[in-house]
Structure 1
């Protein structure tokens, strides 16, 4: 995986999602990295890390099983977070190897612009196809939670 998150080749599979949230960069960073926040908008799932470059990172189902794992590649609070990310619970996604997820937070007038770029260095990635359905739901929940105090879709992820 390239260490530069913005380097793309013709053989990469890439998903990009941009949303504007009525929040602050610090509040959004906290929502992205806090277990209590994450469990609310990520369907009961939570992330574990100390959010320092080089540290391990993992995403867990509500029952404690590991869904995804990897490493924090870069962390510039509250502006940029880059995670080397690998699915571990679906063999067909795990065999694709590591992906790189970059979350960029920028102030934009009275709101914050969040750009999520998820990339795998292979064409036709099933993992990118999966996150293309997941990220919009998760980020819609996050946006609604930050703006209203409630989530849009309070479902629980089972990993089935």
Structure 2
């Protein structure tokens, strides 16, 4: 018997976090490289915020140094994709592909959706929902699910936790 819950978890992952911040601040933290380079893996992500616009994230020098010290390479562009839908500061839909690893780079583009909503019962708090559709991309699904508690490989839960921490305290996990 196939466990459909496990299969769904691998093909569609949904993460939610409540953040004490305005939709505009959350939007900027996701889409502005000055912000998105300050949390999680600290790789600047660049968006052309229009339908059909490009998305890419670039490797930091620290990533390149770590890779070189461990005998492997990291491309300059570590993520890429295309903007499918943009409704600032509430919704962003894009394709997404991880290029850091040859296995994930060979998989098809996945679809990533960010939705920002005001929390109905908590003024000044927003709910950020990230839905990652990963059909046909099992290596990417495993990676973004975050199975490593050490930080590297912490996946979406780790990234969103660091985003929340940065927006609410002004410091990321590395501070």
Shorter chain as normaliser: what TM range?
A: 0.7 to 0.9
What RMSD, in angstroms, separates the aligned Cα atoms of the two structures? 2.1
Match of 2:139 in 1: 126
Between Structure 1 and Structure 2, whose CA radius of gyration is higher? 2
Higher relative contact order (CA 8 A, sep 6+): 1
Counterparts of 1:11 and 1:17 in 2: how far apart (Å)? 11
Q: Is the 8 A contact 1:11 1:121 kept in 2?
A: no
| TM-score normalised by L of structure 1 | 0.83
Q: Which has the higher strand share?
A: 1
| TM-score normalised by L of structure 2 | 0.77
4+ runs of 1 displaced by more than 4 Å? 9-12
Counterparts of 1:44 and 1:147 in 2: how far apart (Å)? 17
Runs of 5+ consecutive residues of structure 2 not aligned to the other structure: 1-6, 62-74, 147-154
Matches within 5 A, 1:100-111: 100-108=111-119, 109-110=122-123, 111=125
Aligned residue-pair number: 145
Counterparts of 2:134 and 2:56 in 1: how far apart (Å)? 18
Q: Is the 8 A contact 1:67 1:88 kept in 2?
A: yes
- Once the two structures are TM-superposed, the CA of residue 60 in structure 1 deviates from its matched residue by 1.2
Match of 1:154 in 2: 174
Is the deviation greater in 10-19 or in 30-39? 10-19
Q: Which has the higher helix share?
A: 2
Runs of 5+ consecutive residues of structure 1 not aligned to the other structure: 1-8, 156-160
Q: Does 1:74 align with 2:88?
A: no
